[in-house]
């Protein structure tokens, strides 16, 4: 299901091990599809960055880097849009509880910018309750910033 409506089967689907060296196949397959459909460099950059951030969050925060857990990635690619779902096996979280990384007290912290980057580069970003699945869409006709949470 995408955007609250019935959606066709994903164009791609992978279950990845919760290891940093196991995440690249999903990113590579999604970017290959975008290249095949002539998405420009800026679109591919935006999708790559958001996907990397979402995968890193799933690995580190969702699955606590537990190699016995997996990350489920699904994607739908159309001529003018790509939707990506990344789901971990964690308990989830409330995205509104994440501190603002641009606040003065957080500005020098080495982490905490992933959600902000995803929202900046994608047209839509939605965290599916209980918060262990993120659905991101990039539309060529209306790229970023994402408004939904």
When pLDDT is averaged across residues 125-135 and rounded to a whole number, the result is 97
pLDDT at 147: 43
Is residue 5 domain-resident? Answer: no
Is it the case that residue 138 has pLDDT exceeding 50? yes
Lowest-pLDDT range of 6-10, 15-19, 55-59: 6-10
When pLDDT is averaged across residues 17-21 and rounded to a whole number, the result is 89
- Upper half-sphere CA count for residue 4 (Cβ side, 13 Å): 2
Is residue 49 domain-resident? Answer: yes
Is residue 7 domain-resident? Answer: no
How many domains does the chain fold into?
1
43-78 confidence digits (pLDDT tens): 999 999 999 999 999 999 999 999 999 999 999 999
Is residue 106 domain-resident? Answer: yes
pTM reported for the whole predicted model: 0.85
| Model confidence band, residue 11 (pLDDT cutoffs 50, 70, 90) | confident
Is residue 146 domain-resident? Answer: no
| Model confidence band, residue 143 (pLDDT cutoffs 50, 70, 90) | very low
Is residue 85 domain-resident? Answer: yes
The neighbour count for residue 84, using CB atoms within 10 Å, is 26
Q: Phi, psi at residue 136, to the nearest 5°? A: -125, 140
Pair 136, 83: CB distance under 8 Å: yes
Strand partners, 87: 72, 133
What is the CATH number for 130? Answer: 3.30.565.10
pLDDT at 31: 96
Is residue 145 domain-resident? Answer: no
The range of the structural domain enclosing residue 48 comes to: 12-139
Is it the case that residue 121 has pLDDT exceeding 70? yes
């Amino acid at each position: 299901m995408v955007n609250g409506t019935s959606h066709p089967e994903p164009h791609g689907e992978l279950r990845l091990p919760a290891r940093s060296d196991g995440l690249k196949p999903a990113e590579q397959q999604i970017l290959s599809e975008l290249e095949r459909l002539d998405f420009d460099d800026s679109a591919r950059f935006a999708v790559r960055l958001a996907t990397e951030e979402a995968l890193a969050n799933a690995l580190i925060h969702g699955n606590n880097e537990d190699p016995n857990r997996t990350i489920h990635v699904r994607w739908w690619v159309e001529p003018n849009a790509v939707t990506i779902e990344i789901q971990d096996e964690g308990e989830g979280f409330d995205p509104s509880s994440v501190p603002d990384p641009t606040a003065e007290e957080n500005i020098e912290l080495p982490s905490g910018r992933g959600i902000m980057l995803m929202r900046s580069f994608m047209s839509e970003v939605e965290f599916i309750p209980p918060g262990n699945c993120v659905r991101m869409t990039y539309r060529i006709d209306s790229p970023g910033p994402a408004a939904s949470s």
